[in-house]
């Protein structure tokens, strides 16, 4: 059977397209297995520079996100510290009143003093952590500075927990003294 000329030309084009597609597929598969790509060194350097720039930008955004979270935690920790300070002040007032009524407040006063010292240490730690948040961007090792801030926050939170426990115990002891 004899094909018309246009059909023969179309079938030749189709075969050429198929050959090109097969060649591209084989080239792609070869690149996948060998891991090699055909890229000149200038564009490779440009790509590497762009990747490095993106990695630095991502790291910077992560650091800013972590610092924003730490800022919220520090704000809440400062508020809690102020709250505990208010309780300590009220406890001191109650102890002064109990002392004037002739009650022995030595044990409660010692607990309040210890709570006050821990509260001062926690407040100092919070202040140092707050100051360190601005030093992150000028630090030679921002990751380490962020880890240091985290450790300071954890230390302050532990101390505030100890203050809370001491104050709760001191308040209970003061209530017992006032009921005697």
Give the pLDDT mean for 8-21: 62
CB 92 within 8 A of CB 112: yes
Higher-pLDDT residue of 164 and 101 is: 164
pTM exceeds cut of 0.75: no
Distance in angstroms (rounded) separating the CA atoms of residues 33 and 39: 17
Q: Of the ranges 12-26, 70-84, 101-115, 166-180, which one carries the lowest mean pLDDT score?
A: 12-26
pLDDT tens string 44-63: 678 888 888 888 888 888 88
Give residue 93's pLDDT.
92
């Amino acid at each position: 059977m004899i094909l018309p000329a246009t059909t023969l030309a179309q079938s030749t084009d189709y075969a050429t397209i198929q050959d090109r597609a097969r060649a591209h597929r084989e080239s792609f598969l070869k690149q996948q297995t060998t891991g090699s790509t055909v890229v000149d060194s200038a564009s490779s350097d440009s790509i590497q520079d762009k990747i490095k720039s993106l990695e630095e930008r991502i790291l910077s955004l992560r650091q800013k996100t972590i610092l924003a979270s730490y800022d919220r935690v520090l704000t809440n920790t400062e508020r809690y510290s102020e709250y505990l300070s208010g309780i300590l002040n009220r406890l001191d007032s109650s102890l002064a009143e109990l002392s004037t009524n002739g009650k022995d407040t030595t044990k409660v006063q010692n607990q309040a003093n210890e709570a006050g010292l821990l509260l001062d240490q926690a407040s100092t730690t919070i202040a140092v952590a707050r100051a360190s948040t601005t030093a992150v961007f000028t630090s030679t090792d921002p990751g380490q500075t962020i880890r240091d801030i985290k450790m300071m926050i954890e230390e302050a939170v532990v101390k505030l927990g100890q203050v809370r426990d001491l104050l709760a115990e001191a308040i209970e002891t003061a209530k017992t003294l006032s009921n005697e």
